[in-house]
Amino acid sequence: MIEQLKEQYVQMGIDPVIYNYASEIEAQLIERFAEIDAVAEYNQMKVIKAMQKNRVSAECFHSSSGYGYNDLGRDTLELVYADCFHAQAALVRPQITCGTHALALALMSNLRPGDELLSPVGKPYDTLEEVIGIRPSKGSLAEYGISYRQVDLLEDGSFDYDGIRAAINEKTKLVTIQRSKGYLMRKTLSVKEIGALISFVKQINPNIICMVDNCYGEFVETIEPSDVGADMIVGSLIKNPGGGLAPVGGYIVGKRACVENAAYRLTSPGLGKEVGASLGVIQSFYQGLFQAPVVVSGALKGAIFAARLYEKLGFQVLPDGTESRHDIIQAIALESPERLCAFCEGIQAGAPVDSYVTPEPWDMPGYDSKVIMAAGAFVQGSSIELSADGPLKPPYNVYFQGGLTWYHAKLGIMMSLQKLYERNLVNKTLL
């Protein structure tokens, strides 16, 4: 079987040198993978338990149209999400178009003119700069008279508690905490660390709403920020909780009052959660959530495998191959544009969809350098599927994430190394 497997990889374009090197790395990860599997198993039970408790049935998979009144599937799914994340309520909708939209919705519906928003963990995700109005934009919070403050993390990545205490004032209404590093070279926050930060904020003023941008974090640990005091957690269904099957959507889970505010903003005052047709996608939301713990475990294995693979070749990786994981993103500093492009070409070449295309760097709106992206996904832009991107500027970091199955993640990563190997962009003596 081992020989057959090797032959299969060779036929797919992997050099035996790469295959052998990757096999050695994989063999060192047995214990790590077992831990990941245990978390996935725990989270799988969490999801099934929430589905059973809410009596999910075949009727839940019917589609609604028009106003979408009395949509049993939609309403039950929201109960399932609320239970799964141990919260009071949830809004899980295809009308929430992406993660940024979900975050904007949570912010705009819970803040009022004169309120202040605080980020105690530094600069938020790029797209939120326009939502907040850090970069002027039509319809931003700033346009509505909602001010913003930010306290950066300290040099060592820890919270600046003195700075946070000083920043909180009588206007502070909502604190936003981004769990994932996003596209920054900072640490991803663990749920435990987020819990400590929330306790600190609540001690100063228990009425401050604590919101967590949970993108890329769902099901990585056995607890979620909603287990440690977050009033709202927010994310995208084309990332972890959609399990690769949800074709669109976002969620807001948390305190009833917060979720209601969001529902009245998403649809209309007076209508709230009562409307919003599910248009045939709801079954994929259920199936995706059901699969999500295992899909996330595959993505995590891929991230750790890649960290080890590239670390041993002398590249700086974040997180490193041994650190505990709190999201599914892996950053690798490739240190040359040629390597960055070769890496992305490899990821693309290993994809089930669009494997024959060559990714090219392009001038993406909002970025100050060219960006290269690789993705061969079933759902457009889905980043729970194996995908990679990086800005063409030093240190030529590639950020990659996802993989609907561990085997696909493994192939994509081996293929990335194959491309570097073919072009003499790695130290071959280390292989």
Ligand X SMILES: *Cc1c(COP(=O)(O)O)cnc(C)c1O
Question: Does residue 216 interact with ligand X by CB under 6 A?
Answer: yes
DSSP states along 155-186: TTS---HHHHHHH--TTEEEEEEE-S-TTSSS
> Rounded to an integer, what distance in angstroms lies between the CA atom of residue 283 and that of residue 421?
43
What are the residues facing 119 on neighbouring strands?
150
Extract the tokens encoding 404. 């609907």
Other Cβ atoms closer than 10 A to 163: 16
Asked if residues 241 and 288 have their Cβ atoms less than 8 Å apart, the reply is: yes
Which span sits near ligand X by CB under 6 A: 40-48, 96-104, 201-209, 290-298? 96-104
> Rounded to an integer, what distance in angstroms lies between the CA atom of residue 217 and that of residue 85?
12
Which span sits near ligand X by CB under 6 A: 109-117, 169-177, 210-218, 408-416? 210-218
Q: Which member of 50, 91, 98, 262 binds ligand X (CB under 6 A)?
A: 98
Match 């713990």 to its residue by tokens. 293
| Cβ nearer to ligand X, comparing 50 with 106 | 106
Contacts with ligand X by CB under 6 A: the residue count is: 13
DSSP states along 263-286: HHHHS-TTTGGG----TT-HHHHH
Q: Which member of 94, 99, 247, 298 binds ligand X (CB under 6 A)?
A: 99
Which span sits near ligand X by CB under 6 A: 99-107, 142-150, 186-194, 339-347? 99-107
- Residues in contact with ligand X, shown as a per-residue x/- string from 133 to 172 under the rule CB under 6 A: ----------------------------------------
By DSSP bridging, strand 330-333 and strand 89-93 are unpaired
Q: Which member of 120, 133, 182, 402 binds ligand X (CB under 6 A)?
A: 182
| Cβ nearer to ligand X, comparing 42 with 367 | 367
Question: Does residue 104 interact with ligand X by CB under 6 A?
Answer: no
Question: Does residue 178 interact with ligand X by CB under 6 A?
Answer: yes
Question: Does residue 240 interact with ligand X by CB under 6 A?
Answer: no
- State the residues that interact with ligand X by CB under 6 A: 98-100, 103, 125, 127, 178, 180, 182, 213, 215-216, 236
